[in-house]
Amino acid sequence: MAGLGELERSVMEALWASDVALTANDVRDRVALRSEPGRAPATTTVLTVLSRLERKGFVARARDTRPHHYHALLSRAEHTAELMHEVLAASSDRDAALARFVGTVTDGEAQTLRRLLDDLVRR
Amino acid sequence: MIAAAAVLGVLALALAWPAPVALSGASWTARSPATALALWQGIALGGGLAMIGSLLAFGAAPAGSLAGAATSLLPSFWTGPIPAAFGVVQLASLTLAVGLAVHLALNLVSTAVRAERARRRQHRLVDLLGDPLPGSPGTRVLSHPVPVAYCVPGIRTATVLTDGLVDLLDDDELRAVLAHERAHLDQFHHLVLLAFRAWHAALPWFPIANRAEGAVALLTEMLADDRARAVVGAEPLATALVRVGTAGEPGAYADAGGVHPDPRMLERRLARLDPGTTPLPRWARAACWTAAIATAVTPIVVLASILV
């Protein structure tokens, strides 16, 4: 199942690129257009990926139609902004999970630091 | 027994206050970060063991040994009465020792679990949102203007850059950043950081735990910087640090939760890239490593001597 992650990406790309909600068949056609010949996924596979993505909170489905129509919950940019917010904001869980090239401090801490520096300079 | 309790108590006090204060104030740590990191680990491990051990030894003193105290006390939990030799002070001391050990262990586990959960979420999002960086396996680029680089450690690892960072840096600077993050992942810095973060979480009212966590975080950054310097040289690393550290001013970080690059940490990392900075002499490093190991081992030896 090495390709599952890639397939999730392709499915999300298809949903992000579309202005309207798509059925699993629509998604499969759009993914197939960008796949190498013979590597296009089956509709059942796409359905599996779509429910995985739904569970993870990336995709929502309208259940009042048959077949179900799927759409992306947030745009790619919105997801990225949310991720960046988590990475940069001060949180001890985040700190334990990641290591950043240049660490950040919050506004409050930055002001405290500046005050400390000012005090040192004045002395 | 009382002598052992006293030795451990003195050691615990020394490792809880004067030793960490001296180490966090020392300037040589920037010259040999690996040595300083070993000392911090010795202090934390030895300090914790000495503190718990001194309480155990004091509480178990009426029985003459730790095993003796366990065999005379444990059965009476269910059948009572508690042997008269153990007074309220001894029982309180034993309870405190066990409570402290359990508290520290639980905090380590819960910190690890929360970090793992955050890392899974990171992988989930980065897999979907990041584009692979050609020529650099395991690296993903997010489409975001704030220049940021970070790595997700663990069994599965990832290095994540933003295209704001890729646009900001030239090729050598980018290689410096990638080598720096790679070093964090290869040297398992997250495990050391996790232990110190858990220690801080367990003892939030203890100022030394906070200071130790900050010092250890800075030392791991310096170790990663050393690797980056070995790969690309000091110059691109220094310019990368300055560019990433100042590019946020004044507005770029504004949308990202009101944070700024940490100027204090940057300053100390830049200062040591000066070619005049040399590592500690070999004998001094050897002495520090010996001290670190002795600090961690002493409480174990003392406790073993009063075991039976």
pLDDT tens for each residue of B96-115: 999 999 999 999 999 999 98
Do B273 and B300 lie in one domain? The reply is no
CATH T-level assignment (fold) for domain A4-72 = Arc Repressor Mutant, subunit A (1.10.10)
Radius of gyration of chain B (CA): 24
pLDDT reported for residue B50: 97
A42 or A102, greater pLDDT? A42
Burial B269-281 (b: 16+ CB within 10 A, else e): bbebbeeeeeebe
B242: in domain: yes
Mark whether B204 and B153 lie in a shared domain.
yes
Closest partner residue to B260 (CB to CB) among A79, A101, A105 is A105
Contact assessment for residue B153 and residue B112, using Cβ atoms and an 8 Å cutoff:
no
Q: Do the chains contact at A104 and B262, CB–CB below 8 Å?
A: yes
State the smallest CA–CA distance between residue A112 and chain B in angstroms. Answer: 12
- At A123 the three-state DSSP class reads coil
- Both B150 and B43 in one domain: the answer is no
Q: Are residues B221 and B176 in the same domain?
A: yes
Considering the domain architecture, whether residues B162 and B59 belong to the same structural domain is answered as no
Domain count of chain B? Answer: 2
Residue B92 lies in a domain: no
Shortest CA distance to B291 belongs to which of B8, B16, B27, B42?
Answer: B42
Do residue B201 and residue B59 come from a single domain?
no
DSSP letter (8 states) at residue B158: E
Question: Are B165 and B264 in the same domain?
Answer: yes
Q: How far off is chain A from B228, nearest CA to CA, in Å? A: 11
Confidence class for position A107, pLDDT limits 50, 70, 90: low
* Better-scored residue on pLDDT, B86 or A35: B86
Q: Does B70 touch chain A (CB under 8 A)?
A: no
Residue A104: helix, strand or coil by DSSP? strand
Q: Where are the domains of chain A?
A: 4-72, 76-122
% residues pLDDT > 70 (chain B): 95
Are residues B265 and A103, on separate chains, in Cβ contact within 8 Å?
Answer: yes
Give residue B268's domain range: 126-277
pLDDT in tens, B262-302: 778 888 999 999 888 899 999 999 999 999 999 999 999 99
Find chain B residues with C-beta within 8 A of A113's C-beta.
263-264
Cα Rg for chain A, rounded, in angstroms?
A: 22
pLDDT digits (tens, 9 = 90+) for B202-237: 998 888 888 898 899 999 999 999 999 999 999 999
Whether B161 maps to a domain, the answer reads yes
Q: Which of B128, B203, B264 to mutate to probe the A interface, most A CBs <10 Å?
A: B128
Whole-number Å distance between alpha carbons of A29 and A24: 9
Asked if residue B192 and residue B146 are part of one domain, the reply reads yes
Question: Is B186 domain-assigned?
Answer: yes
B178, B169, B127, B131: which is closest to B151 by C-alpha? B178
Which among B125, B143, B151 has the least Cβ separation from residue A99?
B151
Contact A84 B262 (CB under 8 A): no
Segment A111-120, tens digit of pLDDT: 665 565 566 5
Q: Let me know whether B156 and B48 are in one domain.
A: no
In a domain? residue B300: yes
Q: Which residues of A touch B125 (CB under 8 A)?
A: 79, 83
Say yes or no for a CB contact (<8 Å) between B260 and A104: yes
B171 and B285 housed in the same domain = no
Task: Please indicate, yes or no, whether residues B157 and B56 belong to a single structural domain of this protein.
Answer: no
Give tens-digit pLDDT for B69-97: 999 898 887 787 888 889 999 999 999 99
What percent of chain B clears pLDDT 90, i.e. is strictly above it?
69
| Residue B9 within a domain | yes
* Residue B143 and residue B264 in one domain: yes
Is the per-residue pLDDT at A39 higher than 60? yes
- Whether B129 shows a pLDDT value over 80: the answer reads yes
Residues B21, B88: Cα–Cα separation, whole Å: 34
Q: Is residue B213 part of a domain?
A: yes
